[in-house]
């Protein structure tokens, strides 16, 4: 437990991906089985415990600590579990006996309740130091939140040997903690683990962004084009289970099992196949905005009401396996033909075909990318964010192979906004004011005022960053903790050109909108703040269904 | 406040019988200074009585003319000033740091100054002094502050250096006390490579070395930057997240301070490797020391007074906060900040 605690402690303050990866790989290389396997399960979210509600923690600490001292401390620290971890009056170090991680996991998995939980926790807290107690309480309050994705943890395991994270993803869902066979495989001590999972995740084939230079080297005849939908990429798999019956699963692009959140789709997979497609919310045949889809994501369960108001559907664009046969080695054209036949045969009300976009030359496609209506985009044009180019002869290859698939996205929206607040960045940018909140003009009760519309921290050149950094330091008008408010008047301030992929309606923001993927394009030295854009310009970009909301 | 020999005056603690202040916040006629940190040792007093090391530190910081007159007092030696017995006793905080013991007619008052109970290779250890009235600091006066052994924290720094051997480890440490302690602890752990210093740390490191504190090979950073990959560089805490740090490319930012115990604070400071190394007594140290002095009356000068006063009350001690303002801790967190804290 102490080693895992030290890892979590270090991860929680390490900002960089590479730094985190090095810490993880070092841990997996040196920690023994089965502890490292349980650590991997916690980091990937395969295991999750929620035994300690705030009331449990409060009751626990009330038995050990003077209530006045606890309240003063809680006031100071702010976070309840951290306060408990720090204030816990543990025995002297020499008398402590740290519980091993596998033991903690085993006992938690037995799902103790009420007094039994409190007793277990108290015993463990007594055996740990501050960092150990903090980590234990993180472990039992659900979600480690140390900035490590499941993918990053798997990449670290892969880094023990010659594997890739994709290799691990293919077997992942057939394995369970503590993953001893996985570690043995990763370290080259054993072969690929054999699983009896009939519906494993197949790492998706990904596309490169199409650059101007790519285009001249490509022959339009070698490529098929599809719309790029504004949903999320999913893999839908169904197959007979070894013990009889059938197994269905819906995976996100990263291999996360999201089956439980989509019973409306998955429950009716009565085929034996693996589909690659886009998950969308579709009402009466019309694709809804991404923000509607978002309400269906990141849920463990889903209410009947939400199922009805936000019905999910899959728009299929590839077929990876059919009746037990792996189709991935086949060329795209062949898979496409099989896909079309398959989708027509199953007649599933929530699965349809993503159509091919016929085109004669790239010029026509380029025009359609910005205005899908030009090439049969139809009434779903608002849900199209560009086109995909797929080489007709290409097999389905996991990862991002060169030269096979391209995404050609619609140009982002751009807006000129005024810098309002700045904060220091993290990692290599921690000496720069490099996180910016920016706003646009609207008519307020006392005339024109700036209202924040977004926050972004990357995209600028080092020169621009340094210039803004100097401006922030010289024009700070207010400080809120680490945040500096900078001068933003009609004639004094900086104008930033911001690119973004779209807008969502948001009640959490004062402006009522939230930008998707905002990033900085450049510092508009040629513009004065009063020349920046107005909120009405942005509101006009909202999808029709959101505009009225 | 008739039970002691001191009263709270505008400039701080004042002894009317002896006509002197202790750690006054503004220039006074006669001052006894507990240690060299800037909020306790100010320039411009008429006469200063302190340990020889503290006087040397003040001279190094303010120049030789920092006071009209100075007198060094050997620890344990008793003077009589206006009928008040005065002696100094090691406080274990930084080089030369002292508690001030006052006695009048057999009744003893001790002013702790800043102190710690953890071992520190760079200064004399805290000496418990029996007294009737104990006037204590309370910088870390909350039971969430329990400092781990410094050796263990240094171990974490060395483990990080082994793992990230291509990155400079930039350690933010206050120029007086913390920097030298971190260096000495590194040496104690067997680290014998040169340690690189920001210019602001050089003078006091030299002063420590001149007083016989072994710090091993030290070098100035000077104009160097990326060529110090894989080395340990010490700088004042404020430089960690400032422009100066850019020269090292992508350093691991290490902060050594008792405040690093609270994660939100470590995050706000941009510390990637927070080390809980403090030159102040932690909660257990404060409570144990109060008990050890045998005092029946406790005054709490600065820090988180409320919790400590509450604890004293529970022990049946007569305790009160002095609500003194103007003393921070040497990491530059003003007292008002420490009380409100991050939420």
| ipTM value for the complex | 0.91
Q: What pLDDT is attached to residue B333?
A: 40
CA–CA gap between residue A341 and residue B87 (Å, rounded): 97
Q: What pLDDT is attached to residue B16?
A: 94
Q: What pLDDT is attached to residue A239?
A: 94
**Non-local CB neighbours of B58 within 8 Å, separated by 6+ positions:** B33, B36, B41, B43, B48, B50, B66, B67
CA–CA gap between residue A101 and residue A38 (Å, rounded): 7
Q: What is the chain A residue with the closest CA to B265?
A: A77
Q: What are the angstrom distances between the C-alpha of A258 and each of A203, A232, A250?
A: 15, 12, 6
Mean pLDDT of B34-42: 95
**Confidence band, pLDDT 50/70/90 cuts, at residue A545:** low
Q: What pLDDT is attached to residue A542?
A: 74
Q: What are the angstrom distances between the C-alpha of B192 and each of B83, B162, B186?
A: 51, 14, 8
Q: What pLDDT is attached to residue A96?
A: 87
CATH number attached to the domain at B150-275: 3.40.50
Pick the CATH number of A413-547 from 3.40.640.10, 1.10.20.60, 2.60.40.10, 2.40.50.140: 2.40.50.140
Q: What pLDDT is attached to residue A118?
A: 87
Instruction: Answer whether B170's CB lies under 8 Å from B252's CB.
Output: yes
CA–CA gap between residue B170 and residue B166 (Å, rounded): 13
Q: What pLDDT is attached to residue A543?
A: 63
B322-329 own/partner pairs: CB under 8 Å, 24+ apart = B322/B8, B322/B13, B322/B135, B324/B8, B324/B12, B324/B13, B326/B12, B326/B25, B326/B39, B327/B23, B327/B25, B327/B39, B327/B40, B327/B137, B327/B301, B327/B302, B328/B39, B329/B114, B329/B139, B329/B258, B329/B280, B329/B303
Q: Flag if A430 and B245 touch (Cβ within 8 Å).
A: yes
Q: What pLDDT is attached to residue A301?
A: 83
List b or e across A101-129, with b for residues whose CB sees 16 or more CB atoms inside 10 angstroms: bbebbebbeeeeeeeebbebbeebbbbbb
Query: Per-residue pLDDT for B3 more than 70?
Result: no
A73 touches chain B (CB under 8 A): yes
pLDDT in tens, A379-408: 777 788 889 999 999 999 988 899 999 999
Instruction: Answer whether A260's CB lies under 8 Å from A248's CB.
Output: no
pLDDT in tens, A176-223: 999 999 999 999 999 999 988 899 999 999 999 998 788 888 999 999
Q: Which residues of A touch B311 (CB under 8 A)?
A: 66, 69
Query: Per-residue pLDDT for A307 more than 60?
Result: yes
Pick the CATH number of B7-144+279-340 from 3.60.15.10, 3.40.1190.20, 1.10.3980.10, 3.20.20.70: 3.60.15.10
Of the candidates A59, A66, A57, A52, which has an alpha carbon nearest to the alpha carbon of residue A84? Answer: A57
Query: Per-residue pLDDT for A497 more than 80?
Result: yes
Q: Flag if B144 and A129 touch (Cβ within 8 Å).
A: no
Q: What pLDDT is attached to residue B1?
A: 43
Mean pLDDT of A101-130: 89
Q: What is the chain B residue with the closest CA to A15?
A: B272
pLDDT in tens, A253-305: 988 889 999 998 998 898 999 999 999 999 988 888 888 888 898 887 889 99
Q: To probe the interface with A, which of B118, B144, B145, B149 has the most A CB atoms within 10 Å?
A: B144
Q: What pLDDT is attached to residue B339?
A: 28
**Confidence band, pLDDT 50/70/90 cuts, at residue A502:** confident
Domain boundaries, chain A: 208-409, 413-547
Q: Flag if B268 and A14 touch (Cβ within 8 Å).
A: no
Percentage of residues in chain A having pLDDT higher than 70: 98
Q: Flag if A15 and B311 touch (Cβ within 8 Å).
A: no
Q: What pLDDT is attached to residue A420?
A: 96
B273 touches chain A (CB under 8 A): yes
Q: Is A515 left (phi over 0), alpha (psi -120 to 50) or beta?
A: beta
Q: What pLDDT is attached to residue B151?
A: 96
Query: Given the DSSP bridges, would you call strands B169-172 and B232-235 parallel, antiparallel or unpaired?
Result: parallel
Name the segment(s) of chain B with CATH classification 3.40.50. 150-275
Q: What pLDDT is attached to residue A259?
A: 93
Q: What pLDDT is attached to residue A105?
A: 94
Nearest CB to A75 within list B160, B310, B341: B341
CA–CA gap between residue B179 and residue B182 (Å, rounded): 5
Name the segment(s) of chain B with CATH classification 3.60.15.10. 7-144+279-340
Q: What pLDDT is attached to residue B330?
A: 54
Least confident piece of the model among B103-112, B137-146, B247-256, B322-331: B322-331
Q: Which residues of A touch B163 (CB under 8 A)?
A: 22-23, 26
Q: How far is A23 from chain B (nearest CA, A)?
A: 8
Which has more confidence, A147 or B2?
Answer: A147
Percentage of residues in chain A having pLDDT higher than 90: 59
Instruction: Answer whether A416's CB lies under 8 Å from A527's CB.
Output: yes
Q: Which residues of A touch B263 (CB under 8 A)?
A: 12-13, 79, 82, 134
Query: Per-residue pLDDT for A227 more than 80?
Result: yes
CA–CA gap between residue B45 and residue B300 (Å, rounded): 25
Q: Flag if A22 and B250 touch (Cβ within 8 Å).
A: no
CATH number attached to the domain at A208-409: 3.30.470.30
B271 touches chain A (CB under 8 A): yes
Nearest CB to B306 within list A26, A72, A129: A72
Query: Per-residue pLDDT for B342 more than 70?
Result: no
pLDDT in tens, A409-458: 888 889 999 999 999 877 667 778 889 999 999 998 888 999 999 999 88
């Amino acid at each position: 437990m102490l080693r895992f605690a030290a890892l979590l402690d270090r991860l929680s303050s390490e900002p960089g991906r590479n730094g985190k990866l090095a810490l993880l790989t070092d841990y997996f290389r040196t920690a023994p089985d089965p502890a490292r396997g349980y650590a991997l399960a916690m980091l990937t979210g395969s295991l999750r415990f929620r035994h300690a509600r705030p009331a449990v923690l409060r009751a626990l600490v009330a038995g050990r600590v003077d209530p006045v001292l606890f309240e003063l401390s809680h006031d100071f620290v702010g976070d309840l579990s951290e306060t408990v971890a720090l204030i816990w009056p543990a025995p002297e170090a020499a008398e402590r006996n740290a519980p091993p991680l596998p033991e903690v996991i085993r006992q938690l998995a037995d799902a103790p309740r009420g007094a039994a939980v409190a007793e277990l926790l108290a015993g463990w807290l007594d055996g740990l130091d501050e960092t150990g107690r903090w980590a234990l309480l993180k472990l039992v309050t659900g979600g480690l939140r140390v900035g490590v994705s499941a993918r990053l943890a798997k990449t670290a395991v892969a880094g023990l040997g010659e594997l890739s994270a994709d290799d691990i993803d293919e077997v992942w869902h057939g394995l369970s903690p503590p993953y001893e066979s996985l570690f043995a495989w990763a370290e080259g001590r054993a072969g690929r683990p054999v699983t009896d999972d009939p519906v494993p995740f197949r790492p998706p084939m990904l596309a490169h962004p199409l650059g101007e230079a790519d285009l001249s080297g490509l022959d339009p005849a070698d490529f098929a084009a599809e719309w790029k939908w504004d949903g999320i990429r999913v893999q839908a798999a169904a197959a007979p289970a070894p013990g009889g019956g059938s197994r269905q699963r819906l995976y996100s692009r990263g291999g996360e099992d999201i089956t439980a959140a989509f019973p409306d789709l998955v429950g009716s997979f009565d085929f034996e196949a693996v589909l690659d497609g886009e998950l969308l919310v579709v009402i009466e045949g019309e694709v809804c905005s991404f923000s509607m889809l978002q309400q269906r994501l990141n849920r463990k369960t889903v209410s009947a009401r939400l199922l009805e108001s936000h019905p999910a559907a899959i728009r299929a664009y590839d077929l990876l396996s059919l009746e037990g046969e792996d189709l991935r080695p086949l060329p795209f054209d062949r898979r496409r033909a099989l896909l079309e036949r398959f989708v027509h045969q199953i007649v599933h009300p929530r699965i349809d075909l993503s159509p091919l976009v016929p085109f004669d030359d790239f010029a026509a496609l380029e025009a359609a990318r910005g205005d899908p209506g030009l090439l049969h985009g139809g009434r779903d044009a608002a849900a199209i964010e560009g086109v995909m180019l797929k080489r007709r002869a290409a097999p389905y290859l996991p990862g991002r192979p060169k030269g096979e698939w391209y995404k050609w996205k619609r140009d982002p929206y751009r807006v000129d906004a005024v810098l309002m607040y700045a904060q220091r960045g993290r990692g290599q940018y921690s000496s720069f004011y490099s996180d910016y909140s920016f706003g646009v003009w609207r008519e307020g009760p006392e005339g024109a005022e700036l209202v924040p519309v977004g926050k972004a921290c990357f995209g600028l050149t080092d020169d621009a960053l340094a210039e803004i950094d100097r401006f922030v330091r010289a024009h700070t008008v207010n400080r809120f903790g680490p945040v500096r408010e900078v001068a933003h008047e009609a004639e004094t301030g900086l104008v930033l050109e911001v690119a973004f992929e779209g807008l969502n309606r948001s009640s959490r923001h004062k402006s009522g909108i939230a930008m998707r993927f905002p990033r900085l394009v450049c510092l508009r030295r040629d513009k004065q703040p009063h020349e920046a854009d107005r909120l009405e310009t942005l509101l006009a970009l909202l999808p029709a269904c959101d505009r009225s909301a | 406040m008739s039970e002691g020999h001191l009263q709270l005056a505008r400039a701080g603690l004042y002894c009317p019988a002896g006509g002197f202040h202790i750690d006054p916040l503004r220039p006074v006629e006669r001052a006894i200074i507990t240690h060299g940190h800037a909020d306790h040792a100010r320039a411009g007093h008429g006469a200063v009585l302190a340990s020889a090391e503290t006087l040397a530190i003040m001279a190094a910081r303010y120049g030789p003319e920092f006071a009209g007159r100075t007198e060094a007092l050997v620890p344990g030696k008793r003077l009589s000033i206006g009928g008040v017995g005065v002696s100094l006793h090691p406080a274990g905080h930084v080089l030369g740091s002292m508690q001030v013991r006052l006695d009048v007619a057999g009744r003893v008052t001790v002013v702790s100054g800043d102190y710690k109970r953890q071992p520190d290779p760079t200064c004399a250890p805290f000496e418990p002094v029996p007294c009737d009235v104990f006037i204590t600091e309370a910088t870390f006066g909350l039971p969430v502050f329990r400092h781990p052994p410094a050796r263990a924290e240094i171990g974490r720094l060395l483990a990080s250096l082994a793992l990230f051997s291509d990155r400079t480890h930039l350690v933010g440490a206050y120029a007086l006390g913390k920097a030298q302690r971190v260096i000495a602890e590194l040496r104690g752990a067997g680290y014998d490579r040169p340690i690189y210093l920001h210019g602001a740390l050089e003078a006091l490191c030299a002063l420590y070395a001149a007083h016989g504190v072994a710090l091993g090979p030290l070098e100035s950073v000077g104009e160097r930057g990326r060529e110090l990959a894989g080395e340990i560089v010490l700088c004042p805490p404020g430089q960690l997240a400032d422009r100066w740090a850019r020269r090292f490319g992508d350093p691991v930012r290490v902060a050594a301070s008792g405040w690093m115990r609270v994660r939100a604070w470590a995050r706000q400071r941009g510390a990637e490797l927070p080390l809980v190394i403090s030159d102040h007594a932690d909660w257990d140290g404060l409570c144990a020391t109060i008990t050890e002095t045998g005092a029946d009356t406790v005054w709490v000068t600065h820090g988180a007074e409320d919790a400590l006063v509450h604890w004293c009350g529970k022990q049946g001690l007569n305790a009160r906060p002095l609500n003194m303002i103007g003393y921070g801790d040497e990491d530059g967190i003003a007292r008002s900040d420490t009380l409100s804290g991050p939420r």
